[in-house]
Amino acid sequence: MTNPYELTATEAIELIKNRKLSIYEWVLSCFDKIKQKDSDVKAWIYLDEKNALKKARELDELNDSSLLGIPFGIKDIIDASNIPSGLGTPFYENNIPSRDAGSVSIAKQSGCIFLGKTVSTELGHRGPGQTTNPHNKNFTPGGSSSGSAAAVAAMMAPVCFGTQTTGSVIRPAAYCGIVGYKPTYGDFDKSGILPNSPTIDTLGLMTRSVEDVSLFRSILLEEKIIKPKNIDLKNIKIGFVRTPHWDKTDISTQNNLEKFIEKLRVEKLDITDINLNQIISKADQLHLDISGYEFKRSISYERFNYYNELSDQLRSGRLNDGYQVTNKLYKAAIKKLSILKNEIDEVFKDIDLIITPSAPGEALKGLGYTGSPMFNTTWSLSGNPCVTLPLFKGLQNLPIGCQLVTKFGNDDELLDYSKTIYDNYLK
């Protein structure tokens, strides 16, 4: 029998329904895997093993099929009641919130079992934590949702929560070789999550299957569970977007994506090369201004009270960006963002799906830098839903992700496209 920790949530739930697996066995297996692997991966900052196993036993005794029992972890900038929220810093070790974040409360109410907190970069920005890439501990897992991506990739949990302001779900998921999902802006509740840039911040999901993304999306929306379906890709229009950053992409990523697009063309799919360089360049500047201004305000307490304990990366990064932006410039950027979103909506009148890089390449060697979010900025700013799929391998034999983007609000369609591509083109 497959070890329970190897199962996706969708697979495990089916076994539990058929009485071939208990929730307790599933949760216990996840903690066993954590004990085996986390001394190297260092994905977790806090584990709630005793309470998780107690809850698993209770759910098994209830035998209520509506309570799914899915083990999950959350990024350390997301609150769980009576659990430390360190926010990726050394000075918040005694910060213990009394209430769950909205998303965590919803998951628990559905019977999902909270395993613990995963490592975040400092205040959800760029200062890296201790986590390593499960495929090679000498390489970064990406950030800022580093622990969540690594925990799922190392099979310590089937699902983990991350957050994205620029590329903090899509990039680490790509580096760690899993499925990462950033929903349409506003779909998932953000209460109880440390704000970075409220205009952009989005809760996202890390899983090992598209089906699990759809399952947990349904849970967090508190709606009927929708299963993604395979569709005929010949019935949709696809745009291949290299972006103005293509020349900063490593040769392996370029070759893999171009060969993939050529394969789709040979199969007679409707694919067009689309030049969005002007839109993306505008988005890069707007994101810099908006996220910098809002981040400076969001972490006002930290910059006033712990400034000397903040990393140089944070102080010289987005915080410094914020000091350059006046309120007048910020309000002008917000107005320009509305225009940009309309321009992107116009793009999606002619196509159904964009294919573009998830990151500039494989994970970078060393743990000091979590990588560039240059291929994620536009879609985080616009609020369009995105998925990264682990379709390729690079020269270092590390994963390379393929990013899929659809129209604002078309998350169900995105997951259908993602399942079809994952099932048919995963190497």
pLDDT in tens, 329-353: 999 999 999 999 999 999 999 999 9
CA distances from residue 226 to 17, 216, 243, 415, 419 in whole angstroms, order as listed: 18, 10, 33, 10, 13
Side chain identity at residue 45, one-letter code: I
Annotation says 380 is catalytic: no
Confidence at 2, pLDDT banded by 50, 70, 90: confident
Helix (H) or strand (E) run with residue 286 in it: helix 277-298
Annotation says 291 is catalytic: no
Two structure tokens written together for 236: 């949709």
User: For position 128, what pLDDT does the model report?
Assistant: 96
CA-derived radius of gyration, the chain = 20
SS3 of residue 47 by DSSP: strand
| Predicted confidence (pLDDT) at residue 378 exceeds the cutoff of 60 | yes
In the numeric block, the tokens 């070789």 are attached to 177
Annotation says 382 is catalytic: no
Taking the whole predicted model, whether its pTM rises above 0.95 is answered as: yes
Of residues 111, 42, 101, 36, the one with CA closest to residue 74: 101
User: For position 315, what pLDDT does the model report?
Assistant: 96
List phi, psi (to 5°) of 92: -120, 25
Side chain identity at residue 76, one-letter code: D
Q: Domain spans of the chain?
A: 4-221
User: For position 5, what pLDDT does the model report?
Assistant: 98
Two structure tokens written together for 210: 């598209």
Confidence at 304, pLDDT banded by 50, 70, 90: very high
Instruction: Find the catalytic residue in 29, 85, 103, 144.
Output: 144
Side chain identity at residue 254, one-letter code: Q
Give the number of other CB atoms < 10 A from CB of residue 365: 14
Instruction: Find the catalytic residue in 168, 197, 358, 382.
Output: 168
Side chain identity at residue 93, one-letter code: E
Crossing angle of helices 102-109/210-221, nearest 10°?
100
Residue 349 CB partners (closer than 8 Å, separation 6+): none
Confidence at 27, pLDDT banded by 50, 70, 90: very high
List phi, psi (to 5°) of 245: -100, 10
| CA distance linking residue 200 with residue 136, whole number of Å | 32
pLDDT in tens, 139-184: 999 999 999 999 999 999 999 999 999 999 999 999 999 999 999 9
What one-character DSSP code corresponds to residue 127?
A: S
Give the number of other CB atoms < 10 A from CB of residue 307: 11
pLDDT in tens, 69-119: 999 999 999 999 999 999 999 999 899 999 999 999 999 999 999 999 999
Q: Which CATH superfamily is domain 4-221 in?
A: Amidase signature (AS) domain (3.90.1300.10)
Residue 142 CB partners (closer than 8 Å, separation 6+): 149, 171, 172, 173, 174, 175, 176, 359, 363, 370, 371
Give the number of other CB atoms < 10 A from CB of residue 203: 23
Residue 364 CB partners (closer than 8 Å, separation 6+): 139, 140, 371
User: For position 427, what pLDDT does the model report?
Assistant: 62
User: For position 1, what pLDDT does the model report?
Assistant: 56
**123 Ramachandran zone, left/alpha/beta (phi>0; psi -120 to 50):** left
Q: DSSP letter string over 182-219? A: EPSTTSS--TTB--S-TTT-EEEEEESSHHHHHHHHHH
Helix (H) or strand (E) run with residue 172 in it: helix 170-176
As a whole number, the mean pLDDT across the chain is 97
User: For position 89, what pLDDT does the model report?
Assistant: 96
Instruction: Find the catalytic residue in 37, 75, 407, 419.
Output: 75
Two structure tokens written together for 60: 């098994």
List phi, psi (to 5°) of 250: -70, 160
